[in-house]
Copies of this chain bind each other. A is one copy, B any other.
Amino acid sequence: MTQQPPHTEAAVLLSRYRQVRDRSLNLIEGLTPEDCQLQSIAEASPLKWHLAHTSWFFETFILAALAQPPAPFDPAFKVLFNSYYVGVGDRHARPERGMLSRPTLEQVLAYRCHVDQHMQQALAAADMPAEQVALVELGLNHEQQHQELMLTDLKHHFSRNPLFPAWRETGDDQRAGSGATAERLHCNGGLVDIGHAGRGFCYDNELPRHRVWLEPFSLASRNVTNGEYLAFIRDGGYQRSELWLSDGWDQVCSEGWHAPLYWQHHDAGWQVFTLHGLQPLNEDATLSHVSFYEADAYARWAGARLPTEAEWEYAASEEQRLEGLFDEVWQWCNSAYLPYPGFQPAAGAVGEYNGKFMINQMVLRGGSLATPTGHSRASYRNFFPAWARWQFSGVRLAWDSV
Contacts A241-B86, A339-B334 known; A40 to B99 CB distance under 8 Å? yes
Does A317 sit at the interface, judged by CB under 8 A?
no
Residues on B with beta carbons closer than 8 Å to the beta carbon of A92: 162
Which of under 10, 10 to 19, 20 to 34, or 35 or more describes the interface residues of A?
A: 35 or more
Q: Looking across the interface, which residue of chain B has its beta carbon closest to that of A336?
A: B336
CA–CA, A195 to B350, complex, Å?
A: 38
Q: How far is the CB of A228 from chain B (nearest CB, A)?
A: 23
Q: Mark A95-115, 1 if CB is under 8 A from B, else 0.
A: 010111111110000000000
Contacts A33-B33, A386-B360 known; A102 to B246 CB distance under 8 Å? no
Interface contact A104-B34, CB-CB below 8 Å: yes
Copies in the complex: 4
Which of A80, A212, A213, A214 has the most chain B CB atoms inside 10 A of its CB? A213
Query: A320-328, A351-359, A370-378: which lies at the B interface?
Result: A351-359
CA–CA, A237 to B101, complex, Å?
A: 36
Partner of A244, one of B84, B335, B341, B356: B356
CA–CA, A242 to B356, complex, Å?
A: 9
Interface contact A38-B99, CB-CB below 8 Å: yes
Residues on B with beta carbons closer than 8 Å to the beta carbon of A359: 245-248, 292-293, 296, 362, 386
Contacts A356-B244, A400-B341 known; A165 to B101 CB distance under 8 Å? yes
Partner of A102, one of B40, B161, B342: B161
Does A10 sit at the interface, judged by CB under 8 A?
no
Does A265 sit at the interface, judged by CB under 8 A?
no
Q: Mark A105-142, 1 if CB is under 8 A from B, else 0.
A: 10000000000000000000000000000000000000
Does A23 sit at the interface, judged by CB under 8 A?
no
Does A235 sit at the interface, judged by CB under 8 A?
no
Interface contact A162-B34, CB-CB below 8 Å: no
Does A175 sit at the interface, judged by CB under 8 A?
no
Residues on B with beta carbons closer than 8 Å to the beta carbon of A245: 356-359
Contacts A34-B33, A34-B105, A104-B34 known; A80 to B334 CB distance under 8 Å? no
Q: Spell out A's residues near B (CB within 8 Å).
A: 32-35, 37-38, 40, 48, 76, 79-80, 84, 86-87, 92, 96, 98-105, 157-158, 160-163, 165, 191, 210-215, 241-242, 244-249, 292-293, 296, 308, 334-336, 338-339, 341-342, 352, 356-360, 362, 386, 400
